[in-house]
Amino acid sequence: MTPPRGSLILVPNTLDFGIAGEVSDIRDVLPATVIRTAARLTHWVAENAKTTRAFLKRVDAVEPLAQSLQTLSIVELPRPQKGARAAPAADLSRLLAPALQGTDLGLISEAGLPAVADPGAALVQAAHAAAIRVVALSGPSSLLLALAASGLNGQSFAFVGYLPIEGTERGARIRELEALSRRAGQTQLMIETPYRNEALLGALLAHLQPTTRLSVSCGLTTVAAFTRTDTVQGWKAAPTALPSDVPAVFALLAA
């Protein structure tokens, strides 16, 4: 008789990883159910094992772990080979072994919701293919928080990830996204490595039309979090400096 299978549980992480300053209490960001679930899980698949251990130390301070941190199984997601969109299926099946053997398995990224603007979607897909129950727990998503705080169109939106770094390509992509936004009335969301926040903001202000609305959300869920939404013309008239060490979400909606 085949033993019952465990579930793949998508555990949200806080959004303050790597941000300088006082770390927020996880109880202010994550629901109690998430903390209790994280405390009982003994097997994990992680974007980064080191940051997962740091997360679990914070959990342990609130809800004691089921077993010591040193004895937990934390396996990192395999990185796709260059040019590939996902890791080989064999690698993903290996990661799902605990769930196939009846043990619940946690999936966690460095920040926010697993598999949303983060690695992990291929593992979730493999779990569905293997008839493993997938459970997504409630938690912070920088994209949705930024969208909600922006005042832009939350009925139609798209996340486009990172823009090209090279200036000419980046400018062309910005104009393309603005045209799409104008045509479809759709908010376009993007992110950047924090130390390039100012560079992306400068490129957006240089290539977008004056009436296009631009929103920037920095350090969401932290004490110093802020969101500013204004027209490009308004941004240029009253500049706002962006930190180089705090994650930001950028959003635009063309008039």
CATH architecture, range 7-136: 3-Layer(aba) Sandwich (3.40)
For residues 140 and 113, what is the distance between their CA atoms, to the nearest angstrom?
7
The tokens for 88 are 């080989």
Can you give the C-alpha Rg of the chain in angstroms? 20
Percentage of the chain with pLDDT > 70? 93
Residue type, 97: A
Q: What is the pLDDT of residue 3?
A: 72
Q: What is the pLDDT of residue 38?
A: 98
The series of mean pLDDT values per 10 residues for the chain, 255 residues long, is 87 87 83 98 97 96 96 91 62 92 97 92 95 97 97 98 96 98 98 96 98 97 94 97 95 97
Question: For the whole model, what pTM was predicted?
Answer: 0.90
For residues 95 and 109, what is the distance between their CA atoms, to the nearest angstrom?
15
Q: What is the pLDDT of residue 22?
A: 60
Q: What is the pLDDT of residue 198?
A: 97
Per-residue pLDDT of 12-31, as tens digits, reads 999 998 786 666 789 999 99
For residues 101 and 173, what is the distance between their CA atoms, to the nearest angstrom?
46
Q: Hey, what CATH topology would domain 142-253 get?
A: 3.30.950
Reported as type and span, the H/E element at residue 56 is: helix 49-60
Q: What is the pLDDT of residue 160?
A: 97
Which strands form 157-159's sheet, in the order they lie side by side? 157-159, 187-191, 248-253, 213-218, 226-231
User: How do the domains of the chain map onto residue ranges?
Assistant: 7-136, 142-253
Q: What is the pLDDT of residue 83?
A: 56
DSSP string covering 81-117: PTT-SS--HHHHHHHTHHHHTT--EEEE-SSBSTTSS
Q: Residue-wise over 46-61: b if at least 16 C-beta within 10 A, else e?
A: bbbeebbeebbebbee
What 8-state DSSP symbol labels residue 196?
Answer: G
Backbone conformation region of residue 143, classed left if phi is above 0, alpha if psi is from -120 to 50, else beta = alpha
